[in-house]
Amino acid sequence: MAAPPPPDPQFVLRGTQSAVHALHFCGGAQGQGHPLLLSGSLSGLVHIWSLQTRRAVATLDGHEGQCVTWLQTLPQGHQLLSQGRDLKLCLWDLGEGRNAVVDSVRLESIGFCRGSVLARGHQHWTLAVPGRGSDEVQILEMPSKTSVCTLKPEADAKPGMPMCLELWQTGDRPHQGMATSLRPVERRQEDMQHPAVVVANSSPRPLLLAGYEDGSVALWDVSERKVCSRIACHTEPVMALDFDSQKARGVSGSAEKALAVWSLDEQQALQALRTQELTNPGIADVKIRPDRKILATAGWDHRIRVFHWWTMKPLAVLAFHSATVHCVAFATDGLLAAGSRDQRISVWSLYPRT
């Protein structure tokens, strides 16, 4: 059987007039309003796209013309977090047509590292952002903005700057409504369906996965402020990582020509599983679809690559963009969006969920 030709995008969103650096799906899951796609651009604007009309419904301008690198919604009160290169993390209130900055956090680091959030309770969440020192990660308690701790590697480790962060916690009991980010919500729902997977430690312990400039991935125990485990996955800086807490397996992409897959064993030790060679070097973003079936990468080679998550079998190479792809995002219904330096956002429907 001949392989089918690569698919075309379902639709393409144009009009950011600037390179797209961050994407985030929101809505739909909560059942209110139509699903939206948020995009952050190089020019500092955040566009909110309606996936129904395929038009921008709103534009947020809060980063003084500096690139928006990270977008994340918080379900309570329709709040949006946006991280910009103006060293500001803005909290937006989007409820009922509002679009105003309600709060902001001053960032200390000028790097490209995106932050990460973890819901800790009602109206209560933890935020990880790059810290003041070049190799530090700062943990903040929100919305009080109190600094909980600073995770600083040991003096002789010298991993370089943190490049990407991923907060999660062990022993997550399924707790609807506590979730802040969409993907963790998904995971917990999945956990309910698969009670077989139980993490030994029952008390929730926030953990942080951080990819560093030297190509290593480290697992931090946030409450004890120490590194549980660290492996060298790449020889180039880790550009993106994503973690599947249910299977205790993660994937990271770097500036080199390979993806690394690693796992976490019961002793909280990271183990390299395999590497997946790519044709061209450079991965800007990696995302696992919420149903944990496939994963997508954003490549510097203008291409989106799709793999089977469990086997890492290459499934598709989507060559639509004419410039570096900066970010990919999955919606809860499986829709895939990719934003590129060519100022376009392509939306794809691959292997629809059944």
**Contacting residues toward another protein, per CB under 8 A:** 2-7, 194, 196-197, 247, 273-274, 276-277, 279-280, 293-294, 301-303, 308, 310-317, 319, 351, 354
- Residue 9 neighbours by CB distance under 10 Å: 19
Nearer to another protein, 43 or 276 (CB): 276
Core vs surface per residue 49-84: b (16+ CB within 10 A) or e? bbbeeeebeeebebbeeebbbbbbbbbbebbbbbbb
Place of tokens 């976490």: 264
In the complex, what is the shortest distance from the CB of residue 292 to another protein, in angstroms, rounded to a whole number?
9
In the complex, what is the shortest distance from the CB of residue 309 to another protein, in angstroms, rounded to a whole number?
9
For residue 32, give every residue at least 6 positions away whose Cβ sits within 8 Å of its Cβ, in sequence order, or none. none
Nearer to another protein, 156 or 266 (CB): 266
Nearer to another protein, 6 or 33 (CB): 6
Nearer to another protein, 148 or 315 (CB): 315
Nearer to another protein, 154 or 266 (CB): 266
In the complex, what is the shortest distance from the CB of residue 316 to another protein, in angstroms, rounded to a whole number?
4
Nearer to another protein, 213 or 301 (CB): 301
**Residue 348: burial class (beta carbons within 10 Å; 0-12, 13-18, 19+):** buried
- Residue 188 neighbours by CB distance under 10 Å: 19
In the complex, what is the shortest distance from the CB of residue 200 to another protein, in angstroms, rounded to a whole number?
15
**Of 134, 332, 338, 345, the residue nearest 240 (C-alpha):** 338
Nearer to another protein, 21 or 303 (CB): 303
In the complex, what is the shortest distance from the CB of residue 192 to another protein, in angstroms, rounded to a whole number?
13
In the complex, what is the shortest distance from the CB of residue 15 to another protein, in angstroms, rounded to a whole number?
26
Q: Compute the distance between CA of residue 138 and CA of residue 127 in angstroms, rounded to an integer.
A: 8
In the complex, what is the shortest distance from the CB of residue 92 to another protein, in angstroms, rounded to a whole number?
37
In the complex, what is the shortest distance from the CB of residue 308 to another protein, in angstroms, rounded to a whole number?
5
Q: Compute the distance between CA of residue 318 and CA of residue 336 in angstroms, rounded to an integer.
A: 11
Place of tokens 């100022």: 343
Nearer to another protein, 122 or 274 (CB): 274
Cis check: omega of the bond before 5, within 30 degrees of 0: no
**Of 188, 168, 186, the residue nearest 330 (C-alpha):** 186
In the complex, what is the shortest distance from the CB of residue 107 to another protein, in angstroms, rounded to a whole number?
33
Nearer to another protein, 66 or 189 (CB): 189
Nearer to another protein, 124 or 293 (CB): 293
Q: Compute the distance between CA of residue 170 and CA of residue 201 in angstroms, rounded to an integer.
A: 7
In the complex, what is the shortest distance from the CB of residue 81 to another protein, in angstroms, rounded to a whole number?
32
**Of 322, 220, 315, 233, the residue nearest 273 (C-alpha):** 233
Core vs surface per residue 230-254: b (16+ CB within 10 A) or e? bbebbebbbbbbbbbbbebbbbbbb
> What's the CA angle centered on 278, arms 326 and 40, to 5 degrees?
5
